[in-house]
Amino acid sequence: MAYKWSNSLQIKVSKSNKIIKEFEGSIMTISFEGKVAIVTGAGNGLGRTHALALAARGAKVVVNDLGGARDGSGASSQASQEVVSLIEENGGEAISHGANVANFDEVQDMVQQTMDKWGRVDILINNAGILRDKSFAKMSLDDFKLVMDVHVMGSVNCTKAVWDIMREQNYGRIVMTTSSSGMYGNFGQSNYGAAKMAVLGLMNTLVIEGAKNNIRINALAPTAGTRMTEDLMPEEIIKAFAPEAVTAGMLTLCDDDAPNRFILCAGAGGYASASMFETEGCFIPQNAQNPETVRENWTTLTAQDKQAALESGAKQGEKFVMKAMAFMKSQKN
C-alpha cells in the first residue's frame, strides 16, 4: 500500500505493517520502529510535519496541540485530531492531547496517558510556540512573559515530565526548538529571541546531566513557511520554505545515532550547524587589572586562532585558573 502525507514524502507499508521507506528513490535508513514520540505544537506547521514523518518511519506519536491561535489565544482539538486521523488512516498509531505546555499539571497528564498506552517515552520534540511581536519599547511585560512561559517553561515542563522515564529506561532523545532570532537577534522579537536563547542554555546543561543515561539533547533552528511566519514572508517565499525540509533535518537529531548538543539550522533546503566558541584570551596580572589594560589587550583577547567550544561552564574557570598559575610560576623562576 502506498500513500502520501505531504508534497515530498512517499511511504510504503508492507503486509506486516513494517514500513518500507522510500524517498526520491533512496532507501530510508533512519527508523523509529518501536519508539514512542511526543511532539508538542503538532496540529499545524512544523509540528504537524514532524509528527507525520516520525509516524511514517514507525514511531507511535502523541500529537500535542492546544489548538490556539498564533498569539496563544483560544483552544481547539480539531487540528491535532486531524493529524491523528491521518496517521491512523495510513497504518500508524497516534493519540492526541491538548495540554497547554505552560501548565505542568496538564503536561504530566499527557505523559501519564502516553505511559498508560505505550509504557515508554523515547523522543520529545519541544516544538510548541507562540508569537507576540512588537518592538521592546512598545511591548508589554505580559506579552514578554507569555512568550517566555510557552517557549521556555513549556520546554522545561515537557522535559521534566519525561526526564525520569528516560533516565530509568536509559534512553532518551530530546529536541529543543531554537531560532536565529535567539542566536543573532531580530527586530521586534526581544521576547521570542530571549526565549529561544534560553532553551539552548537548558540544552547545554541537560546534555551534561543526561549523558550517563544515554539521553541526548539537540536543538533545531528552523526557517519555514508556517502559520507562525505567514505574515513575515511573501507567499512565493513561504512555498520555498516548506516545513518538510526542516523536518528532514529534525529527524537526524532524535534517532539512535543522533548527535549530542548539536544546533542544526534548516530551511528551504539549506542546512548548517551553529556553535558557540570562546577565544583563548589573555591573562592580566592583578596590579594591572583595570579597564585601560583590558582594552589594550583587546586584540589578544579577541584573537580567534585558538578559539574552542567549551564542554561546560567549568572549563572556562579551569582555563583562567591555568593562566593565573602559569603566570605565578613564571614569576618564581
Residue with cell 532553551: 199
Give dist(CA 91, CA 18) in Å, integer.
10
Q: What is the pLDDT of residues 34-62, one digit of tens each?
A: 999 999 999 999 999 999 999 999 999 99
Active site residues: 192
Written as one letter, the residue type at 304 is Q
Higher-confidence position of 171 and 16: 171
- Domain span(s) for CATH 3.40.50.720 in the chain: 2-274
Residue with cell 487540528: 79
Question: Does 214 score more than 70 pLDDT?
Answer: yes
Give dist(CA 211, CA 231) in Å, integer.
40
Q: What are all long-range contacts of 8-17, with beta carbons under 8 Å and residues at least 24 apart? A: 8/242, 8/244, 9/52, 9/53, 9/56, 9/244, 11/56, 11/90, 13/90, 13/91, 17/91
Q: 183-199 burial by CB neighbour count: b if 16+ within 10 A, else e?
A: beebebbbbbbbbbbbb
Q: What is the pLDDT of residues 291-318, one digit of tens each?
A: 999 999 999 999 999 999 999 999 999 9
> Is the pTM value of this prediction over 0.85?
yes
Which contiguous run of DSSP H or E holds residue 112? helix 104-118
Residue 127: φ, ψ to 5°: -115, -20
pLDDT band, residue 240 (cuts 50/70/90): confident
In CATH, the architecture of 2-274 is 3-Layer(aba) Sandwich (3.40)
